[in-house]
Amino acid sequence: MRALVLGLLALSGMAGASDMDDLLSALKQAQTLEARGVVEVTVLFPPRELPTKSAKALPRVPFRPGLLARNFGVSRARQEAVAGRPATRFELTPKNTQAARWTLWIDQEWNIPLGYQESFPDGTPARRAVFQKVNAPPVRVQVAVPAAPEGLRAALIAALPGLRLSAGVQPTAVKSRPNGGLEISLTDGVNVFALVTSPRGVRAAPGIASRRVGTGFVWLVGNLPQSVLDQALARVSRVDTAGLGTFLKVDASNAQNTPTLHKETP
């Protein structure tokens, strides 16, 4: 009996590892191959006037395989058709139960994503992009997610002592704001968070925490419960961003956070 239980446990672990490997393999394939067609993109958080729009390709999600494997459990769900193509649905369950969970649909033949969905903890969609129509064949692309600068996390903790970041969350980029302050992008491998130092506060709203520290303010924005956002900033005792200067990008565009599309061939 004990051997049977151990065997089942081992099989269960192997299945989880296998699902993770299969998903990471598809995400790796997506760096060089991309489907085109008609994608319905819906963003409900942050709220916008027109939540749904149409696109020719899936928006980029800056997946970071190392963090994803560390912070999420992956399980293969049932097979589903997406835009008429057979696809495998993968469920990404965060180990931090308060983080957003994700669903990915992977094309069974091409082994690339045909859809993503970020869900609130209650399961309702916060962000979703799924093909409605797929053109064959997929196109060749070259996509790279810039590596997070080494030492940035330590510099961030030194700049904002008392900041409570979950162990699995890493800062990936820093850029300056036009009217003073900094914007720091954070990720848990899939989800994205924005940390801001600013001379001004920001009005309270869902997914936004703002706290006065010294003569300035610190904001944290993300798809997390309000209490988690507030607690992350609750003990920040000062803001001294001088040490983050070496991580600042000269170009203040979003390029550093956005996967870079180098070339594309049909």
Partner 1 sequence: MNDHDLDTLFAQARTPTPADEGAAGRFLSGHRQRRTRQRNIRAGWISTLLASAAAVAGLTVLRPAPDLPASAAYGVYQSAWGDGW
Give the footprint of partner 1 on this chain (CB under 8 A). 41, 43, 46-47, 55, 57-60, 62, 127, 129, 183, 185, 192-194, 196, 198-205, 207-208, 210, 219, 221-222, 254, 257-259
CB of 84 to partner 1, least distance (A): 23
CB of 53 to partner 1, least distance (A): 9
User: What is the helix (H) or strand (E) element at residue 170, kind and residue range?
Assistant: strand 170-176
Alpha-carbon distance of 26 to 61, in angstroms, equals 13
Which candidate, 74, 59, 46, places its Cα nearest to that of 189? 74
Shorter beta-carbon distance to partner 1: residue 20 or 165: 165
CB of 87 to partner 1, least distance (A): 20
When computed from its CA atoms, the radius of gyration of the chain, rounded to whole angstroms, is: 20
Shorter beta-carbon distance to partner 1: residue 1 or 251: 251
Q: 209 exposed, middle or buried (CB, 10 Å; 0-12, 13-18, 19+)?
A: buried
Shorter beta-carbon distance to partner 1: residue 73 or 248: 248
Ramachandran angles phi, psi of 86, nearest 5° = -65, 130
Tokens standing for 209?
């925490």
| Beta bridge partners of residue 89, listed in sequence order | 105
Alpha-carbon distance of 71 to 190, in angstroms, equals 9
CB of 246 to partner 1, least distance (A): 20
Shorter beta-carbon distance to partner 1: residue 170 or 257: 257
Shorter beta-carbon distance to partner 1: residue 155 or 192: 192
Shorter beta-carbon distance to partner 1: residue 112 or 192: 192
CA 107 to chain centre: 21
CB of 116 to partner 1, least distance (A): 10
CB contact at 8 A, 232 and 209: yes
CB of 81 to partner 1, least distance (A): 24
Which candidate, 192, 35, 187, places its Cα nearest to that of 105? 35
